[in-house]
Amino acid sequence: MTSGQRAGLARAITLVESARAEHRAKASALVQELMPRTGGAIRIGITGVPGVGKSTLIDALGMMLIEAGHRVAVLAIDPSSTRTGGAILGDKTRMARLANSPDAFIRPSPSAGSLGGVTARTREALLLVEAAGYSVVIVETVGVGQSEVAVAEMVDTFVALMLPGAGDELQGIKKGLIERADIIAVNKADGSARDAARQAAAELLSAVKILASDPPPEVLTMSAATGDGLDLLWRTIDTHRNGLEASGALAARRRAQGVIWMRDMVADGLRHYLAQHAGDAVKAMEAAVADGTLAPSAAAASILETLP
């Protein structure tokens, strides 16, 4: 892809990220028009706590895939960016090799609006990069409950990165991550941490057998830094997705995701409408509920009555 085409793609994503009404209308029309050219990419989600090695992995995996002939786009959903306006994820300096590759496109998390808004923008960006011909899309997020659900709901294969030791295995169980993850990869299985990583993987494996969704996630160890196990991770992603495709589950999963997307957008649109047209009434009801003078159900009914 030429730098001009990449700049065009970046502008299109800026359009879908805009909250202005006239931009929203144009963005929806653009996404609708491009729909027939979307859906062709392998959509991968990657989550994990800060420091687990997400950007190191995405840099290494991305370069491996580019060498195999893929074009790779990286998008990020950063729940903290809605508060700080900063972009911790999808940071180009943390993916140095990919950032310099003409076959990669990296987009940091949109920073405006609620998590729901950020999620909606990222879903549209995902379709735009697919229409632009990227064959692999990686959506990155930090290990925080809601953003993980959001990413799991827009990808084909969801990978949870874990640290060896540090009680991380148990954290994963608590968060219900095991039920959502398709693959659990214990990273930093190198040097003196190799045994701890194997141990963590063994514990996770027995945990997934007990808690298992059906089918349970694959568990493996790897090192994003040395590249050990990267190949196995890719084969596991590929096998998972091929399995979904062969059984028809991929199409079903994507259709269900489309419906979830639509519902999220309706809820988001309603919130937006109410903020614009009934902002004072909403604030008054919130105050009444907060000081206990009005039941939440009555307050909600009264807000809904303001809808045309």
Residues in contact with ligand GDP by CB under 6 A are 48, 50-56, 94, 187-188, 190, 223-225
Residue 28, beta-bridge partner list: none
Cα–Cα distance, 60 to 224 (Å, whole number): 7
Nearer to ligand GDP, 76 or 128 (CB): 76
Which residue has the CB atom at the shortest distance from ligand GDP? 53
CA dihedral 133, 135, 141, 146 (to 10 degrees): 80
Nearer to ligand GDP, 224 or 237 (CB): 224
Alpha-carbon separation of residue 11 from 16, 101, 114, 177 (angstroms):
9, 19, 22, 34
Nearer to ligand GDP, 50 or 167 (CB): 50
Asked if the bond preceding 215 is cis, omega within 30° of 0, the reply is yes
Q: With both helix axes pointing from N to C terminus, report the angle between 115-131 and 249-277 in degrees, rounded to the nearest 10.
A: 130
Nearer to ligand GDP, 16 or 183 (CB): 183
Shortest distance, CB of residue 236 to ligand GDP, whole angstroms? Answer: 17
Nearer to ligand GDP, 142 or 237 (CB): 142
Shortest distance, CB of residue 162 to ligand GDP, whole angstroms? Answer: 11
Cα–Cα distance, 122 to 107 (Å, whole number): 10
Shortest distance, CB of residue 36 to ligand GDP, whole angstroms? Answer: 35
Shortest distance, CB of residue 49 to ligand GDP, whole angstroms? Answer: 7
**Do residues 59 and 72 touch, judged by C-beta distance below 8 A?**
no
Shortest distance, CB of residue 178 to ligand GDP, whole angstroms? Answer: 19
